[in-house]
Amino acid sequence: MDKKSKCFNRLRLKSKQSGIYRKLFALYSWLLGYDIKYYTQIGDNFEIFHGARGTVINPNTIIGNNVSVRQNTTIGAKGFLDSEKCPCIEDNVTIGPNICIIGDITIGHDSVIGAGAVVVKDVPPYSVVAGNPARVIRSLKS
């Protein structure tokens, strides 16, 4: 895990306990150019690559363990309200750059989302998806 991801994870966890860490977390996210709230449900070993510029994650999104995200990724609701249903990303998912994952959908565990994909439907476990709209192009099950 790179240094920025380690710092992000430490600050996010500490910001749940103390106001000063919340302010540091907000400053850190502003400096790096992403919008992820400290109270977003994110599992262990969450990684953000390439400084996370342009990455936006709705606070109602649920992200599992060992998930990696590249730059310019949007994960959130279909509408404008934060209260709308958001994606659930299961464990061991790799999310490429320039991706939109939108709506009340589930990204199955051990899946890969290819660069530039627009994901609006559920992704089965062990899948590689790509395209606009995203579709399964390969299964990772042997």
CA distance 99 to 139: 20
Burial of 89 (0-12, 13-18, 19+ CB in 10 A): buried
Whether cis (ω within 30° of 0) applies to the bond prior to 87 is no
CA atoms within 13 A on the CB side of 84: 12
Sequential DSSP letters for 5-65: HHHHHHHHHHHTT-HHHHHHHHHHHHHHT-EE-TTSEE-TT-EE-GGGTT-EE-TT-EE-S
pLDDT in tens, 33-70: 778 887 888 888 888 887 667 889 998 999 999 999 99
CA distance 28 to 119: 28
For residue 38, what pLDDT is reported?
Answer: 77
For residue 82, what pLDDT is reported?
Answer: 57
Per-residue pLDDT of the chain (142 residues; tens, 9 = 90+): 555 556 666 666 666 666 777 777 777 777 777 788 878 888 888 888 876 678 899 989 999 999 999 989 999 998 776 567 999 999 999 999 999 999 999 999 999 999 999 999 999 999 999 999 999 999 998 7
For residue 20, what pLDDT is reported?
Answer: 77
User: Residue 14: how many CB atoms within 10 A of its CB?
Assistant: 15
pTM score over 0.85: no
CA distance 6 to 49: 11
Which CATH code fits 3-131? 2.160.10.10
For residue 24, what pLDDT is reported?
Answer: 77
Give the 3-state secondary structure of residue 4.
helix
